Structure 1
Amino acid sequence: MSNSLVLVINSGSSSLKFALIDTVSGEATLSGLGECFGMPEAVVSWKIDGEKHEHALDAEGNHHQQAVDRIVVLLEELGMKQDIVAIGHRVVHGGEKFTKTVKIDESVLEEIDSLSDLAPLHNPAHVIGMRAAMAAFPSLSQYAVFDTAFHQTMPAKAYTGAISQKLYTDYGIRRYGFHGTSHYYVSREAAKVVNKPVEESNFISVHLGNGASVCAIKNGKSVDTSMGFTPLAGLMMGTRCGDLDPSIIEFLLKKGWSQQEVFDELNKKSGLLGVSGLTSDCRGIIEAMENGHEGATLAFELFCYRVAKYIGSYMVALDELDAIIFTAGIGENSLPIRSKILENLKIFGYREDEEGNAAARFGNAGVITKPNTPVAMVIPTNEEWVIAKESMELLHA
């Protein structure tokens, strides 16, 4: 068994994803999911050789700890536990405090927890997951890898809000950006495709999943990104509204909506789901659109239009552009959405290569524009590998 295995944990408020990553190949030798935490049907599931297995958690008690304890048992049963050299944790928000991966100790846990105001759904859950993993693997070094860290290279003109500086100094209100590990990974892979050093490469990275963001990458560094103070800003997403006139919040509050109702509406009932009135799933939107559903058609058009608008605006942040990169669940697999976005960018010279677009799906990378036109490509993301590699590098530092 390899001595390059890192257990990657992504702990959410009601779930916990895990993967055992070989940092040499980038392959996940084991992956699984704990879900429905806090509910009677809480369960941990995993796949071995394509076969799914499940383990129900006790109705009472700490489900995060139970899930990690079950992962330990599973690793022991498979004879893998002794080969794990480190544990890497995904952390959504590092604020301005964390600009790179760090080894976890009590002070780091306290710092991550202190940033919970910036990510109330995520950071407290990360800390719970970290404590559970530290209890289960007391002898292993554990590392925190931050979604926001890649974007700490943004210039002040990109991260500063057009608001009183007091709001920044007192409360840290600014653009932070997310999906940093994904944008980092695909930009490094894309540099290989265009055969240039990363430090001389310029991309617009388009991460399209249930959460979605665009990132302008200049000479290998993030210089602007669409998500903001929280992951609600920027693009239209599965259930999130993206950019919206902030006065709408005041308007709804005056209409008698509670703060929680407004939060739930913008975060959980908007985006593809809200506009279509059907579903947050891109595949369901396209299927309904093909059957003539007006709400689904509008959701599709709006989604593609807003992505293209962001891509166009981010050309301002770059002196040159080597390629647009599509990645994540929708970006890697949805041929109609990529096709429509490129059609919306025709003023810039983009022309879809239909065969190339059809081939670059289901884990396959590839260029999806015609020769002698501006380049757009698909690069499957691998955030877990980034987390595992950065943990391994710090372990050996």
Structure 2
Amino acid sequence: MSQKILAINAGSSSLKFKLYDMPEEVVLVSGLVDRISHEDAVFTYKIGGHDDKHETVQPVKDHTAAVQLVIDALLGSGLIKDKSEIIGVGHRVSHGGRYYTKSVEIDDDVAEKIDELSVLSPLHNPVNLLGIQAFEKLLPDAKEVAVFDTSFHSTMPRKAFMYALPYKYYTEDGVRRYGFHGQSHQYIYGEATRLLGEQATSKLISCHLGNGASICAIKDGKSVNTSMGFTPLAGLVMGTRSGDVDPEVLPFLEEKHHLNSEDVRSMLNHDSGLKGLSDVSNDVRDVLDAESQGNDRAKLALEVYVHQIQEYIGSYTTDLEGLTTLVFTAGVGEHSAPIRQRVCERLGYLGVKIDDAKNQANEVEIEADDSRVKVMVIPTDEELIIARDTQKIVG
């Protein structure tokens, strides 16, 4: 029986959505409310497979107003006659902590725990909760489901997720590696396996390279290691996030520059990464442009960025005891041929070799004929994973 499911990805000033007809997985409407809380918020959406976009610029006070805008557009499209036709709303939630290793229907206790875990994901969990509360208010008959970024990584072995801190901080406070971008890495494995078969993807590394970035080692469909950690700050150099830093740097900076913990947290999350190193931008495209004009700081930022990705790929090949498939996804991974080329050019020892023409053309399979490893470019679809999990729970 056909069921209409909404997949929601709420950001601090944005609300991304897709309405699916499940279980056929047909996208009926997709769109984005951007610049929430501004007078010039932008609402764009398109119907099904049509290329024509509907766009309006108008004041959007808060997430509740954004949700109302979405519901009005869905009703106006004629694809639903009444909002009660939407039986489930799946929400991407950043951090599930030790509480959740799979998606769950949201009740008061789940909402409280999402709020409690905001300390571990301060940029994401609070706004994820805003989205949940807005839909509860405006779609009271729909079941709401939390789909956690961390769930896919619950299969990691202890040797991969434990930190070498006093053990009590793990047992009492849940300090461990959790990992994020779970929906993306899960989708990438599934799509690569659909295209190549299970044998070719038995030892797969998924590189989710966007403004936020992470790498995941997937063995026979299970996450065995991932670069983000206790929070989404760890691992790779990102747009504005530092990635891995010697912990002793932080008290040193606090003492020397009279910073408090909030100052340091803000610096690590908002002023570091490509932006901090290059002093140009958090956007890879801007940094590449600056490098081409002779900007040495931009060149350095890209060298550090690429080197960190290469380090993790090498390390995770050890975790997998080999490598059969390397996949690039997300904004940078899907669209930046120069970054893919730079990452792969020093991976020949692993059997990775790409075809320049295929890479420049953004083909799905970009490996050279004599490459021992499949190298792929696959657009991610986190919303589809959200819709599938929601349909399982509400169906």
TM-score by length of 2: 0.92
Q: Which residue of 2 aligns with 1:227?
A: 228
How far apart, in 2, do the equivalents of 1:27 and 1:132 lie?
25
**CA distance change for structure 1 residues 88 and 307 in 2, over 3 Å: closer, same or farther?**
same
- 1:228 CA displacement: 0.4
- 1:183 CA displacement: 0.4
- 1:85 CA displacement: 3.4
Structure 2 counterpart of 1:377, which letter?
M
**Secondary structure at the residue paired with 1:252?**
helix
Report Cα offsets for 1:96-154 as digits up to 9, x if no partner.
11111111222221222222221122222222211210221112222111100000011
How far apart, in 2, do the equivalents of 1:57 and 1:372 lie?
52
Residue 135 of structure 1: which of 134, 137, 144 is its match?
A: 137
- 1:321 CA displacement: 2.2
How far apart, in 1, do the equivalents of 2:358 and 2:223 lie?
28
Q: Map 1:178-217 onto structure 2 (within 5 A).
A: 178-196=180-198, 201-217=202-218
- 1:92 CA displacement: 0.4
Structure 1 counterpart of 2:13, which letter?
S
Q: Which residue of 2 aligns with 1:156?
A: 158
Q: Map 1:73-112 onto structure 2 (within 5 A).
A: 73-81=72-80, 82=82, 83-112=85-114
Q: Which residue of 1 aligns with 2:294?
A: 292
How far apart, in 1, do the equivalents of 2:300 and 2:117 lie?
37
After TM superposition, the structure 1 stretch with the greater mean CA deviation from structure 2, 28-37 or 288-297, is 28-37
Q: Which residue of 2 aligns with 1:368?
A: 367
How far apart, in 2, do the equivalents of 1:189 and 1:336 lie?
24
**CA distance change for structure 1 residues 29 and 369 in 2, over 3 Å: closer, same or farther?**
farther
Residue 145 of structure 1: which of 144, 147, 150 is its match?
A: 147
How far apart, in 1, do the equivalents of 2:383 and 2:337 lie?
25
How far apart, in 1, do the equivalents of 2:223 and 2:356 lie?
30
How far apart, in 2, do the equivalents of 1:246 and 1:372 lie?
39
Contact 2:233 2:269 in 1 (8 A): yes
After TM superposition, the structure 1 stretch with the greater mean CA deviation from structure 2, 333-342 or 262-271, is 262-271
How far apart, in 2, do the equivalents of 1:193 and 1:371 lie?
19
Q: Map 1:1-397 onto structure 2 (within 5 A).
A: 3-23=2-22, 26=25, 28-47=27-46, 49-57=51-59, 59=61, 63-81=62-80, 82=82, 83-196=85-198, 201-255=202-256, 256-359=258-361, 361=362, 365-396=364-395
Structure 2 counterpart of 1:249, which letter?
L
**CA distance change for structure 1 residues 279 and 329 in 2, over 3 Å: closer, same or farther?**
same
- 1:204 CA displacement: 0.8
Contact 1:365 1:380 in 2 (8 A): no
Q: Alignment RMSD, CA only?
A: 2.0
Contact 1:23 1:385 in 2 (8 A): no
- 1:214 CA displacement: 0.6
TM-score by length of 1: 0.92
Question: How many residues in Structure 1 have an aligned counterpart in Structure 2?
Answer: 388
- 1:24 CA displacement: 5.1
Contact 1:6 1:21 in 2 (8 A): yes
After TM superposition, the structure 1 stretch with the greater mean CA deviation from structure 2, 174-183 or 260-269, is 260-269
**Secondary structure at the residue paired with 1:144?**
strand
Report Cα offsets for 1:190-248 as digits up to 9, x if no partner.
123332269x7221111100000010111110010000011110000011110001111
Runs of 4 or more off by more than 6 Å in structure 1?
Answer: none
How far apart, in 1, do the equivalents of 2:138 and 2:79 lie?
15
How far apart, in 1, do the equivalents of 2:199 and 2:25 lie?
21
**Secondary structure at the residue paired with 1:250?**
helix
How far apart, in 1, do the equivalents of 2:337 and 2:247 lie?
33
**Secondary structure at the residue paired with 2:145?**
strand
Contact 2:2 2:22 in 1 (8 A): no
Contact 2:242 2:268 in 1 (8 A): yes
- 1:56 CA displacement: 2.3
After TM superposition, the structure 1 stretch with the greater mean CA deviation from structure 2, 232-241 or 75-84, is 75-84
The percentage of counterpart residues that share the same residue type is 44
**CA distance change for structure 1 residues 43 and 51 in 2, over 3 Å: closer, same or farther?**
closer
How far apart, in 2, do the equivalents of 1:320 and 1:23 lie?
37
Contact 2:354 2:371 in 1 (8 A): no
How far apart, in 2, do the equivalents of 1:276 and 1:249 lie?
21
Contact 2:352 2:371 in 1 (8 A): no
Q: Which runs of 5+ in 1 are unaligned?
A: none
**Secondary structure at the residue paired with 1:224?**
strand
Q: Which runs of 5+ in 2 are unaligned?
A: none
- 1:46 CA displacement: 3.1
- 1:52 CA displacement: 3.9
Contact 2:37 2:59 in 1 (8 A): no
